[in-house]
A and B are shown apart, each in its own frame.
Chain A
Amino acid sequence: MDKILEVKNLHVNFATYNGTVQAIRGVNFDLSAGETLAIVGESGSGKSITVRSILQLLAKNADINKGTILYHGEDLLKKSKKEMDAIRGNKISMIFQDPMTSLDPTMTIGKQVAEPLLIHNKVSKKEALGRAEEVLRLVGIPNPKERMNDYPHQFSGGQRQRIVIAIAIVDYPEILIADEPTTALDVTVQAQIIDLLKELQQKIGTAIIFITHDLGVVAGIADRVAVMYAGKFVEYGSVDEIFYNPQHPYTWGLLDSMPTLDTNEEDHLNSIPGTPPNLLNPPKGDAFAPRNKYAMQIDLEEQPPFFKVSKTHYAATWLLHPDAPKVTPPKGIQKRFSKFKKLGDNE
Chain B
Amino acid sequence: MAKYILKRILYLFLTLFIIATITFFLMKMLPGTPFSNQNRLSPDQLAIVKAQYGLDQPVFIQYIRYIGGLFQGNLGTSFQFNNEPVTQLIGQRLAPSMQIGAQAMILGTILGILLGAIAAIRKNSWVDTLATFISILGISIPSFVLAVLLQFYLAYKWHIYPVALWDNFQSSVLPTIALAALPLGNVARFMRTEMVDVLSSDYIELAKSKGNSEWQVVVKHALRNSLIPIVTIIGPMAVSTMTGSMVVENIFSIPGIGEQFVKSITTNDYPTIMGLTIFYSFLLILVFLIVDILYVLIDPRIRLGNGGND
Question: A residues within 8 Å of B by Cβ?
Answer: 55, 57, 81-82, 85-90, 93-94, 96, 98, 101-107, 115-116, 119-120, 151, 153, 164, 167-168
Closest 8 A-B residue pairs measured CB to CB? Answer: A89-B211, A89-B210, A101-B202, A151-B300, A88-B211, A94-B209, A116-B210, A104-B203
- The residue that A167 contacts in the complex, of B202, B206, B224, B301, with Cβ under 8 A, is B206
Q: Which of A88, A98, A104 has the most CB of B within 10 A?
A: A104
Per-residue CB contact flags for chain B residues 83-100 toward chain A (1 = under 8 Å, else 0) read 000000000000000000
Q: Are A85 and B203 in contact (CB under 8 A)?
A: no
Q: Are A82 and B210 in contact (CB under 8 A)?
A: no
B221 beta carbon closer than 8 Å to chain A: yes
Closest to A98 in B: B202
A306 to B205, CA, bound (A): 35
A302 to B220, CA, bound (A): 51
A168 to B210, CA, bound (A): 8
Which B residues are CB-close (under 8 A) to A98?
202
A81 to B220, CA, bound (A): 18
Q: Are A105 and B206 in contact (CB under 8 A)?
A: no
- The residue that A106 contacts in the complex, of B210, B214, B299, with Cβ under 8 A, is B299
B205 to chain A, nearest CB (A): 6
Q: Are A96 and B300 in contact (CB under 8 A)?
A: no
Q: Are B206 and A106 in contact (CB under 8 A)?
A: no
B157 beta carbon closer than 8 Å to chain A: no
Known: A88-B211, A103-B203, A107-B220. 20 other contacts (CB 8 A): A81-B213, A85-B212, A85-B213, A86-B211, A88-B209, A88-B210, A89-B211, A93-B210, A94-B209, A96-B209, A104-B207, A104-B225, A105-B225, A105-B301, A106-B298, A106-B300, A115-B207, A115-B212, A119-B216, A168-B209
A137 to chain B, nearest CB (A): 20
Q: Are A101 and B203 in contact (CB under 8 A)?
A: yes
Which B residues are CB-close (under 8 A) to A96?
202, 205-206, 209
A94 to B220, CA, bound (A): 19
Q: Are B300 and A105 in contact (CB under 8 A)?
A: yes
- The residue that B208 contacts in the complex, of A88, A106, A164, A167, with Cβ under 8 A, is A88
A89 to B300, CA, bound (A): 26
Question: Can you spell out 20 A-B residue pairs with CB atoms less than 8 angstroms apart?
Answer: A88-B209, A88-B210, A88-B211, A89-B210, A93-B209, A93-B210, A96-B206, A96-B209, A101-B202, A104-B206, A104-B207, A104-B225, A105-B299, A106-B228, A106-B298, A106-B300, A116-B211, A120-B211, A151-B300, A167-B206
A194 to chain B, nearest CB (A): 20
Q: Are A101 and B201 in contact (CB under 8 A)?
A: yes
Which A residues are CB-close (under 8 A) to B212?
85, 89, 115, 119
Closest to A104 in B: B203
Closest to B203 in A: A104
Which B residues are CB-close (under 8 A) to A90?
211
Per-residue CB contact flags for chain B residues 208-251 toward chain A (1 = under 8 Å, else 0) read 11111110100011001100100000000000000000000000
Which B residues are CB-close (under 8 A) to A81?
213-214
Closest to A177 in B: B209
A153 to B303, CA, bound (A): 12
Closest to B221 in A: A104
Closest to A117 in B: B210
| Also in contact, A151 and B209, with CB within 8 A (given A101-B201, A106-B224, A106-B225) | no
A88 to B208, CA, bound (A): 8
Q: Are A89 and B203 in contact (CB under 8 A)?
A: no
A147 to B228, CA, bound (A): 24
A86 to B234, CA, bound (A): 39
A104 to B203, CA, bound (A): 5
A87 to B212, CA, bound (A): 10
A82 to B213, CA, bound (A): 7
A101 to B210, CA, bound (A): 16
Which A residues are CB-close (under 8 A) to B221?
104, 107
B310 to chain A, nearest CB (A): 14
Which A residues are CB-close (under 8 A) to B202?
96, 98, 101-102
Which A residues are CB-close (under 8 A) to B205?
57, 96, 102
Q: Are A57 and B210 in contact (CB under 8 A)?
A: no
B288 to chain A, nearest CB (A): 22
Q: Are A153 and B206 in contact (CB under 8 A)?
A: no
- The residue that B209 contacts in the complex, of A57, A101, A103, with Cβ under 8 A, is A57
A106 to B222, CA, bound (A): 10
Residues in B151-209 with C-beta less than 8 Å from chain A: 201-203, 205-209
B227 to chain A, nearest CB (A): 9
A191 to B176, CA, bound (A): 61
Q: Which of B211, B214, B221 has the most CB of A within 10 A?
A: B211
Q: Are B301 and A55 in contact (CB under 8 A)?
A: no
A115 to B225, CA, bound (A): 17
Which A residues are CB-close (under 8 A) to B220?
107, 115
Which A residues are CB-close (under 8 A) to B228?
106
Which A residues are CB-close (under 8 A) to B224?
106-107
Which A residues are CB-close (under 8 A) to B207?
104, 115
A168 to B206, CA, bound (A): 9
Closest to B206 in A: A102
Which B residues are CB-close (under 8 A) to A87?
211
Q: Which of A105, A119, A167 has the most CB of B within 10 A?
A: A105
Q: Are A153 and B301 in contact (CB under 8 A)?
A: yes
A34 to B253, CA, bound (A): 76
A49 to B212, CA, bound (A): 20
A116 to B206, CA, bound (A): 11
A93 to B299, CA, bound (A): 28
